[in-house]
Amino acid sequence: MGPEARVAPGPVVTAPFGHAKATGASRPVPMRRLVGQERKAAGMTLLETIRGPRDLDALSKEQLDVLAGEVRDFLVANVAKTGGHLGPNLGVVELTIALHRVFDSPRDAIVFDTGHQSYVHKLLTGRQDFSDLRMTDGLAGYPQRAESEHDIVESSHASSSLSWADGISRAFSMTGQRDRYVIAVVGDGALTGGMTWEALNNISDDNDRRLIIVVNDNGRSYAPTIGGMARFLNGVRTRRGYKHLYLSSRAVFNRLGAPGRAMYRGIRGGVHGFLSRFSNNEALYSNLDIKYIGPVHGHDIAALTQALEQAKSYDAPVIVHAITEKGRGYEPARLDDADQFHSVSPIDPETGKPIHKASGISWPAVFADEIVALAEKDPTIVGITAAMLRPVGLHLFAERFPERVIDVGIAEQHAATSAAGMAFGGMHPVVALYATFMNRAFDQVLMDVGLHKAGVTFVLSSAGVTGPDGPSHHGIWDLATLQVVPGIRIAAPRDGDRLREELEEAVAVKDGPTVVRYPKGLVPAPIEAVRRTTDGVDVLREDPSRDVLIVSVGGMATTALDVAERLNAQGIGCSVVDPRWVVPVPRSVVELAARYRLLVCVEDGVRVGGVGTRIRQDLRESGVDTAVTEMGLPDEFLAHGARADIMERTGMTPQHIASDVMGMVLGSKLPYARGVSGDTGAQPIVVRAKE
């Protein structure tokens, strides 16, 4: 159902559909905004004349509608080339125009929740070159402070905007800047995250500030948003049901517990205001904790402007509930059932079809297949997703056993603790998340799953460097953070076959948390082992000269083997092992290490506290004095860009690693390979001449 069917009739603005004409993103934007005839004579679109938000002020209603159409054309033409978050941005064109008309950014702070829907904001704040969107040194796909003073929050982990807005507005009050507004733009999906509930509870406690929460309600996260909160919003959307909703909402939120009641207090104003509007009640919004305006047609700039102006006129927190449509104005997106083009790779703009066909099988596809096979055998296995059913590969499981896959919303913390509860009740939950979002649930994994020795398996996809989504989307912290959970076991498969195997081993563990983590992209061809030790470590390459032992973590196996070849070509004997289960460190890794002069751990996580560090500690504890070096990612926030560029920049290519290791072996670089002691079996390093 489109927004027209769901909100009160009003001037409906249907953006002109079209996407053939690129708007010349790379053309220099003129210094002064050209108007009327001048612009037409210069052959420029309206959009090209917008250098900053204040250029919107002079535009008429008709011109704003034309601008909205141009923005859509621009988005489709440009994002089709680079890939990116097309659907969400098509859905906020009018909303963003209205926001920048009514508020005075950057004086007023506009915080985009998650930030994937900030492309229109970028276009209106002087950034109209999208040719290198999400590429190395190009325009970021999320707000970025270094790019613009209009960008405030970069984190891109959902549901934080209300807390940011709460903090900023408090600070504005405390520093005598009470005339500045703070606006949080939050999706209905992000509203399922616990942080928003905590923030609402807190915001409603102090009503003396200029804080506006704009709910961008398109009814979807990737897939339709789930849960009581979503049903609640849906009820507000369907006007005819609002009276019943008003009466039942208290009960609904009471059922949701204390945060639900807090939320109810917040939303109650909304429903009350909504009712009042219909009953022409003069005592609008009296006795409310948080005021509410809506629902507003999210593609009607005039209606949105009116609602935002009204919100602005209160000196207190207000919710503006805008009904929008994801993928608005672009049929291939609108009609895409899976996620309405939430995020696309480069597409043909005419058809919406991907330009590049995948030339292999992705990691989540292997998982998707294997988890169904395991679930067929073991009826206790249940899948849990935090609003990312398809991206994490639980969709086939959900199709096969709909009642055994649970979408908890964007609620990783809840997912982990709920899983602990399910394990207590006799199930074996498999919680599938992107590695970066696991960060959210650390305490729950530690205290609820770990402490209670709950048999829960976390399957982390997009581990390691991911690339275009930037700093907050790299999955590089899981190995360092999760390994401190007592009793946890972490597997890192190197290929599809190992993913199947390690997943099966993981769900067989019933007395504590297990983690299976793998990278983004396609699985490599199977990498067979020369042999497997009795404790399950795969030896991938065994050199008779025991100079260097590479411990390869998961998807880094191809790199590790390449490094070994390079070292070998330089006359350095190098063996490679894949522990498969990297935490705890298998005993045979320690035993093998004792026979080598230098151990190199190659991992796609931060090297601070990573697997290499863990191995180093275990070697020390066992009295093994083999020199160790950790080849992992630096403890930095890595900028967006192509994965290959990031690996190059961080020295994680075979060439860089091999040359570093050479330096260590030759003693020119720390750590030096240790000397040979009599009883270790290690051989003196003799750098042999290349044959």
Ligand X SMILES: Cc1ncc(C[n+]2csc(CCOP(=O)(O)OP(=O)(O)O)c2C)c(N)n1
Distance, in Å, from the CA atom of 55 to the CA atom of 63, rounded to the nearest integer, reads: 12
Beta-carbon count within 10 A of 589 CB: 24
**In the complex, minimum distance from the CB of residue 356 to ligand X, in angstroms, rounded to a whole number:** 23
Sequence-ordered strand ranges (E) for 38-177? 109-112
Q: How far apart are CB 604 and ligand X at their closest, in Å?
A: 20
Residues 547-586 close enough to bind ligand X by CB under 6 A:
none
Query: Is residue 336 at the binding interface for ligand X, with CB under 6 A as the rule?
Result: no
Which residues face 110 on adjacent strands? 183
Nearest CA to 422 out of 455, 379, 374, 471 is that of 455
**Closer residue to ligand X in complex, CB, 190/585:** 190
Check binding of 428 to ligand X (CB under 6 A).
no
Residue 267 region by backbone torsions, left for phi larger than 0, else alpha for psi between -120 and 50, else beta: alpha
Determine contact, residues 372/396, Cβ cutoff 8 Å: yes
> Under 8 Å CB-to-CB from 75, ≥6 apart: which residues?
86, 89, 90, 93, 119, 120
Residue 80: alpha-carbon gap to chain centroid: 21
Task: Tell me the CA distances in angstroms from 10 to 194, 219, 301, 307, 327, one per residue in order.
Answer: 34, 20, 11, 13, 21
Residue tagged 């999208």 (tokens): 130
Q: What letter represents residue 519's amino acid?
A: P
The DSSP secondary structure of 143-176, one letter per residue, reads --TTT-TT-------TT-HHHHHHHHHHHHHHTT
Q: How many residues interact with ligand X (rule CB under 6 A)?
A: 26
Closest CB to ligand X among residues 110, 190: 190
640 binds ligand X (CB under 6 A): no
Judged by CB, which is closer to ligand X: 119, or 596? 119
**Shortest distance, position 195 Cβ to ligand X, whole Å:** 9
Residue range at the interface with ligand X (CB under 6 A); choices 187-195, 201-209, 603-611, 676-684: 187-195
Distance in angstroms (rounded) separating the CA atoms of residues 212 and 178: 14
Among 105, 204, 218, 483, binds ligand X (CB under 6 A): 218
Residues 96-125 within binding reach of ligand X (CB under 6 A)? 114, 116-117
Residues 435-464, interacting with ligand X (CB under 6 A): 437, 440
Candidates 97, 190, 490, 615; binder of ligand X (CB under 6 A) is 190
Q: In this chain, which of 133, 388, 405, 485 binds ligand X, going by CB under 6 A?
A: 388
Tell me if 326 contacts ligand X by CB under 6 A: yes
Return d(Cα 474, Cα 437) in angstroms, integer. 10
Min dist CB 460 to ligand X, Å, is 13
Binding segment (CB under 6 A) for ligand X, from list 146-154, 168-176, 188-196, 296-304: 188-196
Site for ligand X in 13-42 (CB under 6 A): none
Nearer to ligand X, 220 or 404 (CB): 220
498 three-class SS: helix
Residue with smaller CB distance to ligand X, 409 or 429 = 409
Contacts of 342 (CB under 8 A, 6+ apart): 85, 87, 88, 220, 222, 326
Q: Does 517 bind ligand X (CB under 6 A)?
A: no
Closest CA to 533 of 568, 458, 603, 585: 585
299 binds ligand X (CB under 6 A): no
Q: Rank residues 296 and 590 by Cβ distance to ligand X and give the closer one.
A: 296
Look up residue 337 and give its two tokens.
Answer: 């059932």
For ligand X, which is the closer residue by CB, 189 or 393?
189
DSSP state of 471: G
d(CA 155, CA 473): 9
Single-letter residue type at 82: T
Stretch that binds ligand X, among 58-66, 154-162, 609-617, 656-664 (CB under 6 A): 154-162
Give yes or no for residue 327 binding ligand X (CB under 6 A): no
Distance CA 410, CA 414 (A): 9
Is 158 among the residues that bind ligand X (CB under 6 A)? yes
Name which of 448 and 538 has its Cβ closer to ligand X: 448
Find the binder of ligand X among 387, 527, 548, 567 (CB under 6 A).
Answer: 387
CB of 475 to ligand X, least distance (A): 12
Nearer to ligand X, 220 or 299 (CB): 220
Return the SS3 of 457.
Answer: strand
Q: Which stretch binds ligand X (CB under 6 A): 214-222, 375-383, 423-431, 676-684?
A: 214-222
Beta bridge partners of 474: none
495 touches ligand X (CB under 6 A): no
Cβ atoms within 10 Å of 402's Cβ, excluding its own: 8
Give dist(CA 74, CA 224) in Å, integer: 26
Q: How far apart are CB 472 and ligand X at their closest, in Å?
A: 8
Stretch touching ligand X by CB under 6 A, among 54-62, 64-72, 233-241, 381-389? 381-389
- Reading the block at residue 331, the tokens are 């049929």
Smallest gap from Cβ 49 to ligand X, in A, equals 28
Q: Candidates 157, 237, 498, 500: give the one binding ligand X (CB under 6 A).
A: 157
Main-chain phi, psi angles of 540, to 5 degrees: -95, -25
Is the Cβ of residue 148 or residue 218 nearer to ligand X in the bound state? 218
Which distant-in-sequence residues (6+ apart) come within 8 Å of 364 by Cβ? 391, 392, 393, 461
* Distance of closest approach, residue 564 Cβ to ligand X, in angstroms: 37
Q: Which is nearer to ligand X, 327 or 612 (CB)?
A: 327
First to last CA, the chain: 71
**Residues 395-414 interacting with ligand X (rule: CB under 6 A):** 410, 412
Lookup: tokens for 654: 């075979």
Query: Is residue 156 involved in binding ligand X (CB under 6 A)?
Result: yes
Among residues 127, 113, 68, the alpha carbon closest in space to that of 95 is found at 68
The answer to whether the peptide bond before residue 471 is cis (omega within 30 degrees of 0) is no
Nearer to ligand X, 459 or 594 (CB): 459
Report 69-98 residues binding ligand X (CB under 6 A). Answer: 88, 91
d(CA 82, CA 130): 8
The H or E element containing residue 426 is none
Considering only residues 342-361, where is the footprint of ligand X by CB under 6 A?
Answer: 342
Binding status of residue 49 toward ligand X by CB under 6 A: no
Among 48, 70, 73, 188, binds ligand X (CB under 6 A): 188
| Residues catalogued as catalytic | 326, 412, 440
**Angle at CA 167, nearest 5°, toward 190 and 218?**
20
Does residue 416 interact with ligand X by CB under 6 A?
no
Minimal distance, residue 439 CB to ligand X, in Å: 8
180 is a contact residue toward ligand X (CB under 6 A): no
**Smallest separation (angstroms) from ligand X to the CB of 15:** 17
Q: Which residues bind to ligand X, rule: CB under 6 A?
A: 88, 91, 114, 116-117, 156-158, 187-190, 216, 218, 220-222, 326, 342, 386-388, 410, 412, 437, 440
